[in-house]
């Protein structure tokens, strides 16, 4: 069933047909060789005017002011906008004025792609402008752009101030709100900075399976699928930890991976079912060493992106300069609640959690209760980058037991702007202890914990062949990108975030 076209869409289709009748292909195959960008012209023209006598530029027509035989327009390419000047007699020096009088004035619409040849000059009011000597139609648009409008009070409004529409139709959001590109450019700069840092350390970037027969490496619910040929279930990975540690067993001293991971859990402005993280594993190191690496690397990222260690995030000015503050988990809970839970048993802790207004249920063992108390009462108050260290063993089945503190493991998380941005361990390499931890996770699953880890026999077999002492790290790229781009929602740093099913009623 075809939707009903709007009046503007009907007019655009009629213009398309008229172009064809004039012998103009509105979707040509011929190459249009762009040799300059709008930003390059604006940046360099006043200093190097001789270089812009024969330019070719392409982009969308974003505005037009027709004034008889002379007109001004605005072209938007991938870097910005620049003014165009059209003179009918120069574009059409012979008697046939079709390209100007018919094509430019009547058959082109806002949003159409055109290619322009000409030279650059400065108008009487000082605006850098392209004097158009010829132009070609490169792509005819069939839908009008939802361009911003201004009401009588000066308030700007358009269809793409609605975040849901912006996230669903990012391709148009990027056109009508070009400033949103900045966050994605910064995100790429962030991963490039991180990659160069890790490469300079000599660590190897690798790839591990996304479809896994057993999901593991984190506490999360997986997405499940089925492989028809093998007639077996497979899971989208929730983490790549166990595969990367297999590579440490195999003899690599340092490996990392930028991975797409998938967790079948709730969605919020901090959570998307599909997300990106980098995981790093380095042999013969521990979590203390890894804390120093995280401080150094994130400080470098801030400097690479902003030229300073200070980054404005909402109302908070966050400083990534080393060293960062450090609390143990028990210290953090006591600091923010006034309660020392270090020696409490499960029943007492459940009562304390309820007294603190933290939601609990019967499936929560001691480790889960501690995690809930910390998340509700502490995490949101940690604005400046802070390491939380020394977690209870129940919360960390893949981390090594603390060398000095009974019942704890050598683990840290970095918290910034009230949210976790990374998680790291001195990795557990004792295969007997690891099997016992997995078996405890199976017991939690029977109690109803849907995020409990499963037992991976092949991973256990791998570390039974011997894994050296290893430090491991996972950094959430989406969360860190939110901070480094001052974005309020994870959807603002994902080109195409997961959305609920769309209402098919057209606007």
Helix (H, G, I), strand (E, B) or coil at 184: helix
Find tokens 């991963």 and name the residue.
Answer: 191
The total of other beta-carbon atoms located within 10 Å of residue 258's CB is: 17
Asked if 285 and 470 touch (Cβ cutoff 8 Å), the reply is yes
For residue 150, the model assigns a pLDDT of 64
Paired tokens of 248: 């440490």
For residue 152, the model assigns a pLDDT of 64
For residue 155, the model assigns a pLDDT of 64
| Cis peptide preceding 323, ω within 30 of 0 | yes
For residue 505, the model assigns a pLDDT of 53
Instruction: Label the pairing between strands 128-139 and 81-87.
Output: parallel
Residues contacting residue 117 through CB under 8 Å, at least 6 positions apart: 54, 55, 56, 132, 133, 134, 135
Paired tokens of 282: 């380095």
Residues contacting residue 266 through CB under 8 Å, at least 6 positions apart: none
Nearest-10 Cα torsion for 306, 307, 308, 310? -10
Instruction: Label the pairing between strands 156-157 and 204-205.
Output: unpaired
pLDDT in tens, 125-157: 999 999 999 999 999 999 999 887 766 666 656
Residue ranges of alpha helices (H) inside 130-260 are 163-168, 170-176, 181-200, 241-249
* DSSP state for residue 502 in the 8-state scheme: P
Closest of 160, 58, 198, 263 to residue 507, by C-alpha: 160
Dihedral sign computed on CA atoms, order 281, 457, 409, 336: positive
Asked if 130 and 85 touch (Cβ cutoff 8 Å), the reply is yes
What span, in angstroms and rounded, lies between the C-alpha atoms of 208 and 257?
8
For residue 468, the model assigns a pLDDT of 98
Closest of 248, 234, 303 to residue 279, by C-alpha: 248
* DSSP state for residue 479 in the 8-state scheme: H
- HSE-up of residue 198 (Cα within 13 Å, Cβ side): 26
Asked if 258 and 481 touch (Cβ cutoff 8 Å), the reply is no
What span, in angstroms and rounded, lies between the C-alpha atoms of 55 and 130?
9
Asked if 27 and 20 touch (Cβ cutoff 8 Å), the reply is no
Intervals of the chain under pLDDT 70: 1, 150-159, 504-507
Paired tokens of 184: 């994605």
Domains of the chain: 7-139 (2.40.50.140), 149-176 (no CATH), 181-324+384-493 (3.30.930.10)
Dihedral sign computed on CA atoms, order 266, 268, 271, 272: positive
Residues contacting residue 143 through CB under 8 Å, at least 6 positions apart: 9, 12, 111
Q: Helices 477-484 and 287-306 sit at what angle, rounded to 10 degrees?
A: 40
CA distances from 485 to 184, 191, 296, 480 (A): 9, 13, 19, 9
What span, in angstroms and rounded, lies between the C-alpha atoms of 308 and 131?
41
């Amino acid at each position: 069933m075809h939707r009903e076209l709007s009046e503007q869409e009907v007019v655009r289709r009629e213009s398309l047909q008229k172009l064809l009748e004039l012998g103009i292909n509105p979707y040509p195959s011929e190459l249009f060789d762009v040799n300059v960008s709008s930003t390059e012209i604006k940046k360099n023209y006043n200093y190097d005017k001789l270089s812009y006598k024969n330019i070719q530029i392409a982009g969308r027509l974003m505005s037009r002011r027709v004034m008889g035989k002379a007109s001004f327009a605005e072209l938007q390419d991938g870097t910005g906008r620049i003014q165009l000047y059209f003179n009918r007699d120069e574009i059409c020096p012979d008697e046939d004025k079709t390209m100007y009088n018919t094509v430019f004035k009547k058959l082109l619409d806002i949003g159409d792609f055109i290619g322009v040849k000409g030279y650059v000059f400065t108008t009487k009011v000082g605006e850098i402008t392209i004097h158009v000597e010829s132009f070609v139609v490169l792509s005819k648009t069939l839908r009008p752009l939802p361009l911003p409008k201004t009401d009588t009070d000066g308030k700007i409004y358009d269809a793409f101030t609605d975040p849901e529409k912006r996230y669903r139709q990012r391709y148009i959001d990027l056109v009508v709100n070009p400033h949103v590109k900045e966050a994605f450019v910064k995100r790429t700069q962030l991963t490039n900075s991180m990659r160069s840092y890790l490469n300079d350390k000599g660590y190897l970037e690798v790839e591990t399976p996304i479809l896994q027969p057993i999901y593991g490496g984190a506490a999360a619910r997986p997405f499940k699928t089925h492989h028809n040929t093998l007639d077996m279930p497979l899971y989208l990975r929730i983490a790549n930890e166990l595969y990367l540690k297999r590579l440490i067993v195999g003899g690599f001293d340092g490996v990392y991976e930028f991975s797409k991971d998938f967790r079948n859990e709730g969605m919020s402005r901090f959570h998307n079912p599909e997300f990106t993280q980098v995981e790093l594993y380095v042999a013969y190191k521990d979590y203390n060493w890894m804390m120093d690496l995280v401080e150094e690397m994130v400080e470098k990222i801030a400097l690479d992106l902003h030229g300073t260690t200070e980054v404005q995030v909402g109302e908070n000015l966050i400083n990534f300069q080393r060293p960062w503050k450090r609390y143990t988990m028990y210290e953090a809970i006591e600091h923010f609640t006034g309660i020392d839970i270090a020696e409490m048993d499960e029943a007492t802790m459940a009562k304390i959690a309820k007294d603190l207004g933290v939601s609990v249920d019967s499936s929560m063992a001691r480790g889960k209760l501690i995690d809930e108390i910390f998340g509700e009462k502490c995490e949101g108050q940690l604005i400046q980058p802070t390491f939380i260290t020394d977690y209870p063993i129940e919360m960390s089945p893949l981390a090594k037991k603390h060398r000095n503190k009974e019942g704890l493991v050598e683990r840290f998380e970095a918290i910034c702007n009230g949210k976790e941005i990374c998680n790291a361990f001195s990795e557990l390499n004792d295969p007997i202890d690891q099997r016992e931890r997995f078996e405890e996770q199976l017991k939690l699953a029977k109690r109803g914990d849907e995020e409990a880890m499963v037992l991976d026999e092949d991973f256990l077999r791998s570390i039974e062949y011997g894994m050296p002492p290893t430090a491991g790290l996972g950094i959430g790229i989406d969360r860190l990108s939110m901070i480094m781009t001052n974005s309020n929602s994870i959807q603002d740093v994902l080109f195409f975030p997961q959305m609920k099913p769309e209402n098919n009623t057209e606007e």
